[in-house]
Structure 1
Amino acid sequence: MSVDIHEYLAEFDDIPGTRVYTGRRARQGYWMNQFAMSLMKADNRERWKADERAYLNEWPMTEEQRQAILDRDYNRCLDLGGNIYFLAKVFSTDGMSFLQAVGTMTGMSTEDYQAMMIAGGRSPEGQRSIREKR
């Protein structure tokens, strides 16, 4: 039995609150992720801090990707092909911990997010399908 890979991967988009990093997303976010990785070098971090917009304009990404980064809208960055491990270079440059940054993506306070994760994470009960509202 043959499965269409595109249909299979599209099913991941039906999982609420989850963004699976697929090959399509990797291609879409390539330059955004390359920008983020550039922040591993101190000189690049200084250039970024001096003028974020000018530094981003050096990278051939979409304006929507640039704006998501400038807004520090990490969920939008993920939607646009960002990889959370690469984006960690952005929030680290901002002086944020992984816990703080990921907490902002949930709408929870850092303390509430940390407590939830220590308690075992989100419950698997609840909405499991966006399309079917179940």
Structure 2
Amino acid sequence: MHRSVSDYMSEFDDIPGTRVYTTRRARQGYWLNQFCMSLMKPENRERWRADEAAYLADWKLTDAQKEAVLARDYNRLLDLGGNIYYLAKLFSTDGQSFVQAVSTMTGMSVEDYKAMMMAGGRSPDGVRSIREGT
């Protein structure tokens, strides 16, 4: 049985709590990720800290992306094409470590998140499919 590429790719959206960074997401998040990369330069971080909304106005982000950036809604940013390694530039600019930022994405405290990861990460048991609920 042959499946279409579209059917195959749609299966990635059925993994609970996971966003697979596909070419579609890469295209969707191009300017978002470019904005994040701009924060590698000290002069850009200074401009960003001085007036976040004005700095964002210089970028071709969607309104939804701008809102999510300003809210620091990292899960939403992933949905809107953000790549976690580019988003790291944003939370680093805010003075957050990777662990601190990612723990907010899980709804766990930093301590609980660290403990989970030190114990081997999330259990593979549980819901494995959003559509099937299993």
TM-score range, shorter chain: over 0.9
Task: Determine the C-alpha separation between the residues in 1 that align with 2:2 and 2:129.
Answer: 24
> Which amino acid is 1:40 matched to?
M
- Secondary structure at the aligned position of 1:112 is classed as helix
Deviation by residue 1:45-70 (Cα, 9 ceiling, x = unmatched): 00000000110111011000001011
Is 1:3 the equivalent of 2:8? Answer: no
Task: Determine the C-alpha separation between the residues in 2 that align with 1:47 and 1:108.
Answer: 32
Partner residue in 1 for 2:116: 116
Task: Determine the C-alpha separation between the residues in 2 that align with 1:90 and 1:54.
Answer: 16
Is 1:100 the equivalent of 2:100? Answer: yes
Is 1:51 the equivalent of 2:36? Answer: no
> Which amino acid is 1:118 matched to?
M
Partner residue in 1 for 2:60: 60
- How many angstroms does 1:7 deviate by? 1.2
**Unaligned ranges ≥5, structure 1:** none
Q: TM-score, normalised by structure 1?
A: 0.98
> Which amino acid is 1:18 matched to?
T
Partner residue in 2 for 1:41: 41
Partner residue in 2 for 1:74: 74
- How many angstroms does 1:3 deviate by? 3.2
Task: Determine the C-alpha separation between the residues in 2 that align with 1:54 and 1:6.
Answer: 38
Task: Determine the C-alpha separation between the residues in 1 that align with 2:74 and 2:9.
Answer: 22
- How many angstroms does 1:109 deviate by? 0.2
Task: Determine the C-alpha separation between the residues in 2 that align with 1:58 and 1:120.
Answer: 42
**Unaligned ranges ≥5, structure 2:** none
Partner residue in 2 for 1:24: 24
Deviation by residue 1:19-75 (Cα, 9 ceiling, x = unmatched): 000000000000000000000000000000000011011101100000101100000
- Secondary structure at the aligned position of 1:125 is classed as coil
Q: Which runs of 4+ in 1 moved over 2 A?
A: none
Deviation by residue 1:65-91 (Cα, 9 ceiling, x = unmatched): 001011000000000000000000000
- How many angstroms does 1:2 deviate by? 4.1
> How many residue pairs get matched?
134
